[in-house]
A and B are shown apart, each in its own frame.
Chain A
């Protein structure tokens, strides 16, 4: 390959990368801009970050609390539910196993908006119009997180010997003991990956939260969404930048984990 063609290929890659990252870079720069207008640079400042961490902006603080607490609880619940689910699915006979896998893949093929709307209908159907809020949003998050935990744990289970669990039972272990000392150590890596994936997805979600949280509770994505249509100050750029960095670190760690596992 000639030098010039290699050069042009690199140029192309750099242009695409710029396209993907320039908006975020502009946003990061804006979070340090002391002026309120985005068209002019009025000097460097940490003011918006101070504003953010001082907690004066009640909307942002409560959105942050909602996002993080929902993510943590949903991760814990979906990891337990998903790990047990994967272990059970792995031990099933062919037909029920195929059925469970269809059930696991179903949410993936459904558009987010349909998932959100259908869960909204379910919650109102079961508990009335005023029921939507923190709890319903949490239930929705657990629902879309769990299949991802299943899909991260199952491959690990497939790598281990099918009969070790039965062998443990034959040797007198209780199911709980066999679970703790035989199965879970074997698929620890998959569980960790699944949990981190669940956490990321939960922080990341907008559409499903939007429909299931109602009007009383807001997570960060919903806050950013509602802020997009009105004029906002630099605190929003600061919180978005912080959120971007947190997600970036999470994703890099998840990616490293899956790469190691392979």
Chain B
């Protein structure tokens, strides 16, 4: 680990100094040429900041993901992600040892699949709960229902640890819910440290992110459309399926994005509610960095996660090209 404790080599500082000097010179020249400040120059501190704290860190992640512990280029970290036996197989000296590791190692794939599965379940449950909620709130015949929107929006910005902590109080073994379940006859009812608790926590935390975009789209919909449908003989159910639902797809898509992404990447929920009994991708990344201090592997995992997110985002953007749902 000592390798990571050293500061930057001198040439890196020189390079950075030169870069900064060049930037300042560019700004100065531009001011002199225009005999005044061009407006766009106001953005230069911001641009510099974002490059240093967003682009450079990403470059570092890619750098670590593609190097081994002594800094040489390698694909092993990425191969290792899909097949955790890869390294062992490579370093095996006997045929017997090679045979033992011949199969694909699943110790990294398991958390990935588990994360995707939990996020999928969470998204489906959220959709089922959120769609009627948004529909009823946007219903013009439901007087005052739309004033409830703020109550559904507030939790979107509410601290995730705080909300999960509150959920935990409800789910723990001597908490009100389990006590009640045991009273009514479920003697061995238990939720804490089970996947069910993690799923409940996920739905609880991310549900507002599904409700809000669907509501936004539905409330902007022209009520004349439904009137037209019913004038043309459609019953309410049919007009819901044929008119309202297709038009609300952008909201649904952005809701799915806003629920699925944080659900795949979370590690907090699994620690606080699931006791990390079964690792999720987020836990794997967190532990690889903090417990194992394996920066190369951790970076490779982060890279996989980022690519995964980018792919899903691209697919979802296709379904909502004008970003009508207003998500992200």
Contact = CB atoms under 8 A, between A and B. Distances in A.
Interface string A98-121: 001001101111111111011111
Contacts of B157: 200-201, 204, 247, 251
Nearest to A89: B43
A203 B57 contact: no
B162 interface: yes
B129 A16 contact: yes
Nearest to A30: B169
A135 interface: no
Interface in B140-180: 141-142, 145, 148, 150-155, 157-170, 172, 174-176, 179
A90 B41 CA distance: 11
Interface residues of A, number: 95
B295 interface: yes
A12 B133 contact: yes
Contacts of B145: 9-10, 13
A31 to B, nearest CB: 10
Contacts of A227: 165
Contacts of A244: 158, 162
A119 B153 contact: no
Contacts of A127: 7
B208 A20 contact: yes
Contact of B5 (A90, A130, A169, A229): A130
A146 interface: yes
Contact of B154 (A146, A203, A206, A252): A252
A82 to B, nearest CB: 7
Interface stretch (A21-29, A51-59, A186-194): A21-29
Nearest to A248: B154
Interface stretch (B47-55, B70-78, B94-102): B47-55
Contacts of B184: none
Interface residues of B, number: 91
B305 A114 contact: yes
B39 interface: yes
Contacts of A106: 54
Contacts of B160: 206, 221
A82 B167 CA distance: 36
B265 interface: yes
Contacts of A76: none
Contacts of A30: 169
A237 B170 CA distance: 13
A130 B41 CA distance: 36
B109 interface: no
Interface string A146-170: 1100100000000000000100010
A30 B6 CA distance: 48
Contacts of B58: 118
Interface in B247-292: 261-262, 264-265, 267-268, 271-272, 282, 285-286, 289
Nearest to B5: A129
Contacts of A221: 159-162
Contact of A113 (B38, B150, B265): B265
Given A85-B45, A112-B265, A1 B159 contact: no
B61 interface: yes
Interface in B28-65: 36-47, 49-51, 53-58, 60-61, 64
Interface in A74-94: 81-82, 84-93
A220 to B, nearest CB: 8
Contacts of A86: 43
A200 B158 CA distance: 9
A143 B49 contact: yes
Interface in B291-307: 295, 298-299, 302, 305-306
Nearest to A201: B157
B5 A128 contact: yes
Contacts of B154: 248, 251-252, 255
A54 B175 CA distance: 28
B27 to A, nearest CB: 11
Residue from B169, B272, B309 whose CB has the most chain A CB atoms within 10 Å: B169
B162 A243 contact: yes
- Closest A-B pairs by Cβ, 5 of them: A88-B43, A91-B39, A85-B46, A118-B57, A88-B42
Interface of A: 1, 6, 9-10, 12-13, 16-17, 19-24, 26-27, 30, 37-39, 81-82, 84-93, 96, 100, 103-104, 106-115, 117-122, 124-130, 139-140, 142-143, 146-147, 150, 165, 169, 174-175, 179, 200-201, 203-204, 206-207, 211, 221-222, 224-225, 227-229, 236-237, 240, 243-244, 247-248, 251-252, 255
27 contacts: A9-B132, A13-B133, A26-B170, A38-B174, A88-B40, A89-B46, A91-B39, A111-B309, A113-B267, A114-B265, A117-B61, A121-B60, A121-B61, A125-B8, A125-B60, A128-B6, A129-B5, A139-B53, A143-B53, A146-B50, A165-B39, A221-B160, A240-B165, A247-B157, A248-B158, A251-B153, A255-B153
